[in-house]
Amino acid sequence: MAKLNKTAFMLVFLWALYGFSGAVAADEAPRSLQSGWQYRWGDSPFNDKGVPEWTLAEDEAAHWTDIDFPSNPPARNGNINVWYRTTLPEGNWRDPIIYIYSVDLIVQVYLDGKQIYHYGTFDSQGQGRFEGWPWHMIDLPENFAGKPIYFRIFSDYSDIGLWGEIKIMERLDLIRYIFDHSVEQIIVSFFSFLIAILAIAFALLQSERKSFFYLALFALSSAFVVLGQSQIKQLLFNAPLLWDHLGAAGYFMLPVAMAFLFGEWCAGKFILLTQSVGVFHLAYAVGAITLSVSGHGEISNMYFIFDGLFAISLVILFGVAFVLFRKVGAEKKTIIVSYAIFSLFLLVDMAVAHSYLPWHRVPMAWGLLAFLLAITAISLHHFTVTQNALKELNATLEQLVAERTRELEYLASQDPLTDVLNRRAFHEKAEPIFRSAQRYNRDLAVIVLDIDHFKRFNDNYGHAVGDEVLVQVAACCRKVCRETDFTARFGGEEFTLLLEEASEQNALKFAERLRKTIAALQIPAIDQRITASFGISSLSTPAESLDELIIRADQALYRAKNVGRNNCQVWKTTHTFL
């Protein structure tokens, strides 16, 4: 029950975050990495330091071949290993990452000869097992611009390499991007789950049991298919292989539900043919999932065969629909037309998945939604109460989101360890205060503090103790601050405070009081004394920007460290310090 509550809370959290994340602006727009790539078949040897030799500067460029996009190079000839590389661009990113839509099948990423990311496990032969098709977020270190980045790939699937789209962007931009491209899937999958539940309820209460059970099967399969395509699921629960199995189960069951539904409503004399299609796909779905779960097959290898069989089944069912179209009523014609639209989306999605068409996001959810709406409207023609229930559930969800938004905004702006503001939230809150103080000639001060010899806490007592030191120092900041003051963790052991209506001398007194409070801290099992060094700057000397004020305080902090630590220093225009 606790896990279910946590999942429900996370779902509400993600929906609320989608509502306000667009207000945060990035310094650098996302940039596509769709060109400038090279590939090399095979696998690199590793030197005695464990560094892939193909990532070293002395590696011969002649072995690498240009490619438009790092996927499915020509002349594969049974190769299951390939390397790709490209040069990372310049850019003004604060928290840069590389986003990859998907990888076939497992990957390691190297920069400066060091592995900075991996998904899946490579054995000594450079091979591994399929572990799902998640999207990837690769953290980039500082000073990455202009350097080559290398991707080591293993795949025994029909495709090999990166897939979809590759971008370099801010981390928060990626979260917003995932939301923007997941909203429709979440809406459709939620609606599909709801229809499945209602259909099962009606099947248990009404005489038309078979139609409602088939509708429930189709709705449930649709929900898993669309949710499997939604990238936001990875933020909700990061278990790619589980999601892929659920998505595959839904996808493999789609033709089962479609054939039985179609046979129930439209087939007439073709009922035996449509039922045979449904039974055949049911056997395939059960066999494929069973083989994969039992470890006797890879789910990734089941798609190629299934898509071929599914395409044939779609043609068969469409042929039946074409023959019957003139003979059926308006409601059944609606089903046939929506079925044709959905089939078109499915075929385009298959063609993209197997590289017959260039990659792009296929809005299959909308085709599925059209088909689902048509069969739902007909199935629930005599049950208007269902529509009222759907509206009530949607209203309930909207109300939950509205109630949680303020709390989630707070959580998104806090450092998760110390519960003070994070760096981005500090700038958002401090910038208007700085501009107002600048405009109306009011006092304002910034204090930057750094915990002295913090690394020793981690080295001598472990990271848990180091974290406790950070938490206690943050608590001291909150204790000493006035209601108008606020604190942020800028990274590592550095904290920044903004003091409204505080002169230079008042800020120095405040810093001394905080310094003594920190120095009085006592944590059990720690012999090392906890102290901090402080740098102070204020608008007594005008500053052009908040960043300039912070930089001055940082310079004063370095002075405090240089003169022995555990003291406070004030920045002066002459570069001398109090």
Instruction: Assess contact for 167 and 98: CB atoms under 8 A.
Output: yes
- Residue 214 contacts residue 264 (beta carbons within 8 Å): yes
Whether 452 and 566 have beta carbons less than 8 Å apart is answered as yes
Q: What angle do CA 413, 416, 417 make, to 5 degrees?
A: 140
* Residue type (1 letter), 170: E
Question: What is the rounded distance in angstroms from the CA atom of residue 185 to the CA atom of residue 197?
Answer: 18
d(CA 425, CA 488): 8
Distances, alpha carbon 523 to alpha carbons 181, 494, 516, 530, 533, in Å: 47, 19, 15, 9, 19
Q: Backbone dihedral region of 556: left (phi > 0), alpha (psi from -120 to 50 degrees) or beta? A: alpha
Question: 530 and 451 in contact (C-beta within 8 Å)?
Answer: yes
Burial class (CB in 10 A: 0-12, 13-18, 19+), 575: exposed
Q: Which residue has the tokens 């900075």?
A: 116
* Residue 210: alpha-carbon gap to chain centroid: 39
Q: In what order do the strands lie in the sheet with 568-570?
A: 486-491, 494-500, 444-451, 532-538, 568-570
CA 200, 203, 208, 214 dihedral sign is positive
- Identify the residue whose tokens are 């899937």: 185
One-letter identity of residue 443: D
Catalytic residue among 165, 170, 493, 504: 493
Q: How far, in Å, CA of 239 to CA of 7, rounded?
A: 13
Q: What are phi and psi of 258, to 5 degrees?
A: -60, -45
Asked if residues 319 and 339 have their Cβ atoms less than 8 Å apart, the reply is no
Q: Torsion over CA of 130, 132, 136 and 140, rounded to 10 degrees?
A: -40
CB neighbour list of residue 54: distance below 8 Å, 6 or more residues apart: 40, 44, 63, 83, 150
Which secondary-structure segment (H or E) carries 107? strand 106-111
Q: What are phi and psi of 434, to 5 degrees?
A: -60, -45
Among the listed residues 437, 434, 578, 457, the one whose alpha carbon sits nearest the alpha carbon of residue 512: 578
What does the longest C-alpha to C-alpha distance in the chain come to? 96
- Nearest CA to 539 out of 522, 553, 559, 557 is that of 553
- Strands (DSSP E) contained in 430-479 are 444-451
Q: Is 90 a catalytic residue?
A: no
Identify the three-state secondary structure at position 401.
Answer: helix
Give SS3 for 487.
strand
Q: Are 473 and 533 in contact (CB under 8 A)?
A: no
Q: List Cα–Cα distances, 380 to 192, 193, 208, 552, in angstroms.
A: 14, 16, 11, 68
Active site positions, annotated:
493
